[in-house]
Structure 1
Amino acid sequence: MSELAPHPISLDELMAREALRHLVTAYGHCIDRRDWDLLRTLYHDDAVDDHTPYYCGPVDGYIAWLPGMMANWRATMHTALSALFVVDGTRAQGEITARAWHLTLDGERQFVAWGRYADHYEQRDGVWRFARRSFILDHAEDLPAAQGDDFGSGGVGTGRAGADDPVHARLSLFARTDA
């Protein structure tokens, strides 16, 4: 029987699944806030990231590549839509459906990638991290961006890439240590 079939879930497996959900959600936060130091903590030292054809290799190379690639976008939003995990002791695999939205620097175009991550995770010293992360593109959209401010100047926080995003001021436990 497939490991994906419904089966009784132990407390250990439930805790592992929640830790993995946190891991994949933290990944999107790190990418969108450009928090490369925090992103590095999500991967094991010998991890591989595969965003072929753009980058495939050791995680340190991936993190070194990201700032230049992300400099092309004024804003991004990486969202994990669903997560399906198979846990086997201290190893796990996951298929994460995702939407990655990108706004061009001039605000004129938006690029949306719809896809999935095929992840391998390992728990070492009690902590779950990525061992290998691979992106699979299912569909992409290149669209004009709507212009205008629907909220006026009513004090609504405007999202920004990096340490000056309002989330860091509004959620003290999210404050970056590199800012």
Structure 2
Amino acid sequence: MNNSEVIDRLEITDLVMRYCRGIDRRDFSLVRSLYHDDAIDDHGAYFKGSPDDYVAWLPTAMQGLDSTIHAIHNSLLVVDGHRAEGEHQVTAFHRSRAPDRQEIIIHGRYLDRYEKRDGIWKFSFRRIIFDHGYTRPVDEQGLLAADPNPVWGTDDKNDPSWEFELLAGLGK
């Protein structure tokens, strides 16, 4: 593997991590910036379409959730010049809003195609594959077990990460 391919792999990995940040912090301008204009996002029966339509769909799709965490596990990337493909295992935690808060946990994989255009890697195709999942009630007491007065993350710009100037500027 040469230095150029190592750099490409790091840039693609950063792209995937930025996607998770954008979804989990509801930074939909960041999410949009990660796709080429002619890309397709395929979330199965839930959504399939253009990046603009995907970003327009996300607020409605996520309105019943007060928290999400998209955690990438094993990743495999194949780079061929200005094209690449990837398979990333993901565990996606979703917590619904009160009063009957539920955890919806999805184990799956992102199957991606990337293209490097004008020196920048972006998604040209992204598909989620659902491998396993389950729903369970939120353990409200368990949330407080580690810290009775935690700093809670939020799904809006009140989240503490927005206080970090460089993180907050990712979508700009």
TM interval, shorter chain, is: over 0.9
1:87: which partner in 2?
79
Which of 48, 52, 56 is matched with 1:56 structurally? 48
Q: Which runs of 5+ in 1 are unaligned?
A: 1-8
- TM-score normalised by length of structure 1: 0.89
Residues 42-81 of structure 1: pairs in structure 2 closer than 5 A: 42-81=34-73
Cα distance, 1:177 vs. partner?
8.3
8 Å Cα contact 2:30/2:170 also seen in 1:
no
Q: Deviations over 1:67-112 (max 9, x none)?
A: 0011110111011112100000000000010010000101621000
Cα distance, 1:157 vs. partner?
2.0
Matching of residue 125 in structure 1 with residue 118 in structure 2: yes
- TM-score normalised by length of structure 2: 0.93
Tell me the secondary structure at the aligned position of residue 38 of structure 2: strand
Tell me the secondary structure at the aligned position of residue 53 of structure 1: coil
- Specify which structure has the higher proportion of helix: 2
Distance 1:64 1:14 in 2: 34
Matched-pair identity in %: 38
Distance 2:103 2:39 in 1: 31
2:139: which partner in 1?
146
Q: Which runs of 5+ in 2 are unaligned?
A: none
1:160: which partner in 2?
154
**What is the Cα-based RMSD across aligned positions, in Å?**
1.4
Distance 1:53 1:21 in 2: 27
Tell me the secondary structure at the aligned position of residue 85 of structure 1: strand
Distance 2:19 2:168 in 1: 16
Question: Aligned residue pairs: how many?
Answer: 167
2:32: which partner in 1?
40
Q: Deviations over 1:38-87 (max 9, x none)?
A: 11110001110000100011111111100001111011101111210000
Matching of residue 11 in structure 1 with residue 3 in structure 2: yes
The list of structure 1 runs, each at least 4 consecutive aligned residues, that deviate by more than 6 angstroms after superposition, is none
8 Å Cα contact 1:163/1:176 also seen in 2:
no
8 Å Cα contact 1:110/1:143 also seen in 2:
yes
